[in-house]
Structure 1
Amino acid sequence: MTSQNIIICISALLFILGVVIGSEMPHIDNESQKFIFQFENKCSNNVLFFYFLTNNLRLVGLLISGSALFGAPSCLNLMANGIFIGSTIKSAILTNKLLEFILLTLPHGIFEIPAIIIAGAAGFKIPYEIIRYLAGKKEQILTKEDIREYLTLALISIILIVIAAWIEANVTLKIAKAMLNSTKGI
């Protein structure tokens, strides 16, 4: 298994651990979770796109820059986002709104969640290579290949976030509305 695969697995496991923790937390019916189930939006698609894009790029930036503090911000942000998803899933199940949650998450989530995990992996890349160097498993702290892998992970996560933001602003709400309206007639 390559170092890139190892850090992606670590990143995914931390996110999944957050989801599990979030799903075990007490149910709190708060406003941030209710926002997910609202379908009326008074903003244009362009405003929504830039809102989602800047919000998600901020998160990706925190995850990617986790290397500067030896991966701690990456770890915390992966778990925090997982906890939010886990608690929102629990809330959706308890309030019989799982279908709405899925419809409002799946279209853009298939890009956004991997972007978050890959950005977390980028945040772990440099600390991982430093640990390998200190353990005597490599001769140089960082090689050109290590930097190339870090930048590749960062770029992939940014591209996925841009795609996710566009889908969230232009597709997700339309799909959710259409599918929910069709199920109400049944």
Structure 2
Amino acid sequence: MRQDTRAALLNSAEDLVRRRGFDGVSFADLADGIGIRKASIHYHFATKGDLSLALIDRYRVVFLDRLAAINANTTSASARLLAFLDLYRIAAEAGRSLCLCVALSVTQQALPAKTRNLLAQFHRAVAAWLETVFRLAQSDGTVRAVTDPRAEAQAALAQVEGAQIMARSAADPARFEAAIDTLRNRAL
């Protein structure tokens, strides 16, 4: 039961953070959401900072597994890039939500150093994965005009994360699509 409660807390917290931001979530919200006493949450997470660390750690593992699955299921750089864009599109939930990494990035000042460090590791890992996609694009020719894979990776990551923020702030999924059009249109 304890592990189920922990998982339920993490699931509820992730959903709330993605929709409200980290600052907009309290232990009282979590307790109400899964039907436990607020004090019981402290058994699993002593502080809200501990919760943030558990959230990004779990999210990092899941997201990197999704990137590995993209590699396993696609062979071209363009297919990988398009699948990557789909991950962010799905997470945006038609402008109602943000990826957890984006939601936490927006309120980094509220996070403990350990969480900020893990979030930075997450971004480095995703950027490194994107760099391999753009390096593959240089050899397979399925993404137009790749000159500097490292710079392309950094720009692509900023573009999709910024696109989510734009779509969320306007509650308009078309804003996400418009913001990533330049990336999508480069895929052959």
TM over 0.5: no
Higher relative contact order (CA 8 A, sep 6+): 1
The TM-score by the shorter chain falls in which range?
A: 0.3 to 0.5
User: With structure 1 as the length reference, what TM-score do the two structures score?
Assistant: 0.34
